[in-house]
Amino acid sequence: MREQEGFVPEPRARAASEAGANLAESYRATRSLTEALAAPLSDADATIQSMEDASPAKWHLAHTTWFWETFLLRDHAPRYRLYDESWPFLFNSYYEAEGERVARFSRGMLSRPSLDEVLEWRAHVDAAMETLLARDDIAPLIQLGLAHEQQHQELLLTDIKHALFQNPVGPAMWEGSPASAVAGEDGWIEHPGGIALIGHDGQGFAFDNEGPQHRVLLEPFALSQRLVTNAEWQAFIDDGGYGNAALWLSDGWAWVRENQIAAPLYWRDEKCFTHQGWQARDPDAPVTHISFYEADAFATWAGARLPTEFEWEALAQSHDASGGNQLDAATAPMPRGGGDLFGDCWQFTRSAYLPYPRFKAATGAVGEYNGKFMSGQVVLKGASCATVRGHSRASYRNFFYPHQRWQFTGLRLAKDY
């Protein structure tokens, strides 16, 4: 009911109204940012797929729209009709409950629909979504959709970086030079250990894999005040780190030898590839685009170790999750360094990505979001320079396979004391 002049709603109704307005505003801002990130791309840029781990930018634009159309409009707007009945087959990602789909490695073969047609579909879905944004009964599902699209904003940035990297001329997505890095202070943040409460506390949005909240016992430990830098990584290389089998896990050593790995992804001589093309590598900037295997080997070389996800979270609970170098607008993401626990790069832990005690996946297709991937991957914590500010939190659990490094992945050392 529209608020009438002179009518003051009850506190609960007013809170719901304000929450609905904020959700609608967040929806519009999120959808707008996705398109702004893709704006510098041509149709050809947005269509190519450089490897199976990555998806075309056009596919990200379409898949996030499929999510809204499938789980919100189709299921909660009775008069809505699919924009194109063949597109769910093209743009479903991994939801088995939603039926057959194009194989992941074939997404780059989808020359049609065109980028313009996908953008028209987005506008159509956005207009239809306006009728649902104020509904309290589906607000949690809308919040999930927003978090899902924010994840794909980061993936769009990292996937297109890998695609443009394949071009011998090193094209820039954004012009200009990155800001100079800020050298972080040396030192350690100590934690006395004891019983820590881990997992999301239920206040606000969280993914299902962040709970249930539970207790863990921590031994005394410390985390480095800053991330490992490019200069420190160069010292690791100069000391023969990539050629010393004693530093590596068995699987990591096999990976290094099989793939002839000798430096982080995107390094070439004294330069590194960025969204602004090839740039001089800043020695003070945090090292990024490394695998779990590399992070673990460096930690061993440095006489330290990687933290567990529980250690990292226990310290992060007293830090500002929206701090540090994170994504605020459609600009080139670039690690800059500093003393914040969050931002710049996702930080590897040595924890396997497994369910927490009493974890149960949600019913239906949305239950496939996280739970079925809890095998063979490792947890990363924090946020990167490509993570939309406000998306991450202390309990957030990112996860990748040990060899993957096309994301903004780095490390912060830990030690016992």
Structure tokens at 138: 């589906």
Strands 378-383 and 188-191: unpaired
Residue 177 phi/psi, 5-degree rounding, is -115, 145
198, 159: one domain:
no
pLDDT band for 345, please (50, 70, 90 cuts). Answer: very high
Q: Above 50 in pLDDT, residue 193?
A: yes
pLDDT at 3: 28
| Sequence-separated (6 or more) residues with CB below 8 Å from residue 129 | 27, 68, 72, 73
User: Domain end: 165, 197, 213, which one?
Assistant: 165
Last residue of a domain, one of 130, 165, 200: 165
CA quadruple 26, 31, 34, 36: dihedral sign: negative
Residues 207 and 347 in one domain: yes
Residue 406 pLDDT greater than 50, yes or no: yes
pLDDT band of 372, cuts 50, 70, 90: confident
pTM exceeds 0.75 for this model? yes
pLDDT tops 70 at residue 148? yes
Q: What is the mean pLDDT of residues 17-33?
A: 84
Which of 97, 132, 165 is the last residue before a domain boundary? 165
Q: Are residues 158 and 199 in the same domain?
A: no
**Is 3 within a domain?**
no
Confidence at residue 371, expressed as pLDDT on a 0 to 100 scale: 75
**Mean pLDDT to the nearest integer, 388-416:** 98
171 assigned to some structural domain: no
Res 362: pLDDT: 76
| pLDDT (0 to 100) of residue 361 | 83
Contact call for residues 373 and 353 (beta carbons, < 8 A): yes
Host domain of residue 41: 11-165
**Full 3-state SS string of the chain:** CCCCCCCCCCHHHHHHHHHHHHHHHHHHHHHHHHHHHHCCCCHHHHHCCCCCCCCCHHHHHHHHHHHHHHHHHHHHCCCCCCCCCCHHHHHCCCCHHHCCCCCHHHHHHCCCCCHHHHHHHHHHHHHHHCCCCCCHHHHHHHHHHHHHHHHHHHHHHHHHHHHHHCCCCCCCCCCCCCCCCCCCCCCEEEECCEEEEECCCCCCCCCHHHCCCEEEEECCEEEECCCCEHHHHHHHHHCCHHHCHHHCCHHHHHHHHHHCCCCCCCEECCEEEECCEEEECCCCCECCCCCHHHHHHHHHHCCCECCCHHHHHHHHCCCCCCCCCCECCCCCCCCCCCCCCCCCEEEEEEEECCCCCCCCCCCCHHHHCCHHHCCCCEEEEEECCCCECCCCCCCCCEEECCCCCCCCEECCCEEEC
Is 316 inside any structural domain?
yes
Q: Would you tell me the crossing angle of helices 115-129 and 57-68 to the nearest 10 degrees? A: 20
> Does residue 183 belong to any structural domain of this protein?
no
Q: What is the pLDDT of residues 211-222, one digit of tens each?
A: 999 999 999 999
Partnered with residue 399 across adjacent β-strands are 379
295 and 392 inside one domain: yes
Q: Are residues 142 and 199 in the same domain?
A: no
Lay out the sheet containing 267-268: strands in order across: 267-268, 271-274, 277-280
pLDDT (tens digit per residue) in 276-325: 999 999 999 999 999 999 999 999 999 999 999 999 999 999 999 999 99
Q: Identify which has the larger pLDDT, 15 or 331.
A: 331
CA-nearest of 148, 5, 133 to 63 is 148
- HSE-up of 411 (CA within 13 Å, CB side)? 28
Residue 103 belongs to a domain? yes
Give residue 369's pLDDT band: very low, low, confident or very high (50, 70, 90): low
Same domain, 133 and 212: no
Judgement on whether residues 328 and 208 belong to the same structural domain of the protein:
yes
Is the residue at 177 inside a domain?
no
In angstroms, the CA 378 to CA 348 distance is 8
For residues 261 and 312, membership in a common domain is answered with yes
CATH classification at residue 235: 3.90.1580.10
Average of per-residue pLDDT values in the chain: 93
User: How would residue 63 be classed by pLDDT, with cut points 50, 70 and 90?
Assistant: very high
- What pLDDT, on the 0 to 100 scale, is given for residue 94? 87
